[in-house]
Chains A and B, each alone.
Chain A
Amino acid sequence: MGEEVKVFGYWASPYSYRAELALKLKGVSYEYINEDIFGNKSDLLLKYNPVHKKVPVLLHNGKPIVESVVILEYIEETWKHNPYLPQDPYDKATARFWIKFIDEKCFPTLWLAAWSSENEREKVTNEACEYMKTLESALNGKKFFGGETIGMVDIVASSVGYFIRVTQEIMGLNLLSADKFPQLFQWSEDFANCSIVKESLPPRDKLLPFVKGLIAKYQQDNAKA
């Protein structure tokens, strides 16, 4: 077809993971370029994302698309087979609502709970639990947020379902547990067990030490501030 599709990402980034999973779900081949985001960002990355200078960047026939959720919407609209967003405008609006909720509330608070200091942790953890309860209600008895198959909300929720679960393990936290949030926990198991998901997730044995180092850095920076 002569299409050039590239993803500038970082192997451990939950955001760049979303772009890759979406392309895999659509069966679109792409070239992956790993950026050294903690060291030296490439000139190309800075050229394609001058405003935020972040990964992921999707490059399609030379044109850059940035911000993970914008990328997901673009992929959905460009490769229309295997849709992961509903057609109905109201259902679409509902999916977008949960995506925003995950990105603005759930995920940041869960991450904060992982590295915040002892005295802040209880408050943040309580808040995170409230958000997870709300997110669980969005599942509403379905296997995936998208219904029988993975939808855009599931793709975004991978940040919680996989990356946060790994983070919790390191910190000895048990926020996303089977007894506290049975439906959400089951979802994270089912999601991570899908072959297409599994093949693109960063391996746990590599991710664990990486996240451990990142948490230590956040705690250090926070202590200095």
Chain B
Amino acid sequence: MAGELVLLDFWPSPFGMRSRIALAEKGIPYEYREEDLRNKSDLLLQMNPVHKKIPVLIHNGKPVCESVIQVQYIDEVWHDKAPLIPSDPYQRAVARFWVDFVDKKIYDLGSKIWKTKGEEQANAKKEFIECLKLLEGELGDKTYFGGESLGYVDVALVPFYTWFYAYEKCGDFSIEAECPKMIAWVKRCMQKESVAKSLPEQEKVYEFVLQLKKLFGIE
């Protein structure tokens, strides 16, 4: 059933990490291919002509683009192993809502934290923490957002943890101090092999962010 699976990815991308985790959770073997985003491969441009972005999941030669679509696809095709998305329609809607929330807020606010200074950065930090607190509220007392096992929201959100250290250094604040429950949840996720082996180290991501800042001329 696996057929040929290739993931075109870029190591610090939180979006690529989502698909890595989903595939690892289900124990599905695949070929990981690192893309140089300054010199995109012909394959990437051919498989994602509309956006020309990673990640792209290629299954038996056919591309699936957009990380949330990939995670849903992986869950549907390999539905008998480690289901990520609930089967009840209402629970699915709740999970989709929170994944949509993460997509609308976390990446853009996080980007503002490392790219900007002064008032813009301060506002981004404030809103970022507010969003994490809302997510903490949704998590409640559960082990994972998915309940007893890793779910769709966990897979969508945990990759951003790899960028937290960079946000903290650039923004001069502590995410753990403001959102301890969130960090406790991250630590639980990191105990899972599927998550730990799919995520790069925070320090490496921070080094990468510093390089980006130099490249864009951001202080």
- Chain A residues with CB under 8 Å of chain B are 51, 60, 63, 65-67, 69-71, 73-74, 77-78, 89-90, 92-93, 96-97, 100-101, 134
B71 to chain A, nearest CB (A): 10
Quick check: is B100 within 8 A (CB to CB) of the other chain? yes
How far is A137 from B90 in the complex, measured between Cα atoms in Å?
34
Complex CA–CA separation, A70 to B85 (angstroms)? 13
B90 proximity list for chain A (CB < 8 A) = 60, 63, 65, 74
B62's contact among A70, A90, A101, by CB below 8 Å, is which? Answer: A90
Q: Give min CB distance, B46 to chain A, whole Å.
A: 15
Docked pose: A51 CA to B77 CA in angstroms: 32
Flag whether B66 is at the interface (Cβ < 8 A): yes
24 A/B residue pairs, CB under 8 Å, sorted by A: A65-B90, A69-B96, A70-B93, A70-B96, A70-B97, A73-B92, A74-B92, A77-B92, A89-B73, A89-B76, A90-B59, A90-B64, A90-B73, A92-B72, A92-B76, A93-B69, A93-B70, A93-B72, A93-B73, A96-B66, A96-B69, A97-B64, A97-B65, A134-B50
Q: Residues on B close to A: CB < 8 A?
A: 50, 59, 62, 64-66, 69-70, 72-73, 76-77, 89-90, 92-93, 96-97, 100-101, 134
- A67/B96 contact (C-beta < 8 A), A93-B64, A100-B66 known: yes
Report the Cα distance A191→B101, complex, angstroms: 31
B-side contacts of A134, CB under 8 Å: 50
Residue in A77, A93, A100 whose beta carbon sits within 8 Å of that of B89 in the complex:
A77
Given the known interface contacts A67-B97, A70-B97, A73-B96, the answer about A100 and B69 at a Cβ–Cβ threshold of 8 Å is yes
In the complex, residue of chain B having the shortest beta-carbon distance to the beta carbon of A78: B89
Cα distance, A92 to B90, chains bound together (Å)? 19
Give the chain B neighbours of A71 by CB distance below 8 A: 93
Q: Could you say which residues of chain A place their CB within 8 Å of the CB of B96?
A: 67, 69-70, 73
B65 / chain A contacts, CB cutoff of 8 Å? 97
**In the bound complex, do residue A74 and residue B66 qualify as a contact, i.e. CB atoms below 8 Å apart?**
no
A88 smallest CB distance to B (angstroms): 9
- Tell me, rounded to whole Å, the shortest Cβ–Cβ distance linking B135 to chain A: 10
In the bound complex, residues from chain A placing their C-beta under 8 Å from that of B66 are: 96-97, 100
Q: What residues of B have a CB within 8 angstroms of the CB of A66 in the complex?
A: 97
Taking the closest CB of chain A, its distance from the CB of B82, in whole angstroms, is 16
Residues of B within 8 A of A73 (CB): 92-93, 96
Residues in B neighbouring A92, C-beta threshold 8 A: 72-73, 76
Cβ A51 vs Cβ B92 within 8 A: no
Given the contacts A65-B90, A77-B92, A78-B89, A70 and B100 also touching, CB distance less than 8 Å: yes
In the complex, A144 Cα to B101 Cα: how many Å?
A: 30
- Closest-CB distance, A62 to chain B (whole angstroms): 11
A92, B77: Cα distance in complex, Å: 11
Give Cα A96 to B65, complex, Å.
10
Kindly report which residue of chain A lies nearest to residue B75, judged by CB atoms: A89
Determine how close the nearest CB of chain B comes to the CB of A142; give it in whole angstroms. 18
Chain B residues near A89 (CB-CB < 8 A)? 73, 76-77
- By a CB distance below 8 angstroms, the chain B residues around A77 are 89, 92
How far, in angstroms, from A63 to B62 measured CA to CA in the complex? Answer: 38
A96→B67 CA distance, assembly (Å): 11
B-side contacts of A96, CB under 8 Å: 66, 69, 72
User: Closest residue of chain A to B62, judged by CB?
Assistant: A90
Bound CA span A96–B101, Å:
17
CB-CB nearest in chain B for A63 = B90
A63 to B91, CA, bound (A): 11
Closest to B101 in A: A51
Instruction: Select from chain A the residue with minimum beta-carbon distance to B77.
Output: A89
B96 closest partner in A (C-beta): A70
Q: How far is the CA of A67 from the CA of B89 in the complex (A)?
A: 15
Chain B residue with minimal CB distance to A89? B76
CB distance from A120 to the nearest CB of B (A): 21
- CB within 8 Å for A101 and B89 given contacts A89-B73, A90-B64, A93-B64: no
Known: A71-B93, A93-B73, A96-B69. 14 other contacts (CB 8 A): A65-B93, A65-B97, A70-B96, A73-B92, A73-B93, A73-B96, A74-B90, A77-B92, A89-B77, A92-B73, A93-B64, A93-B70, A96-B72, A134-B50
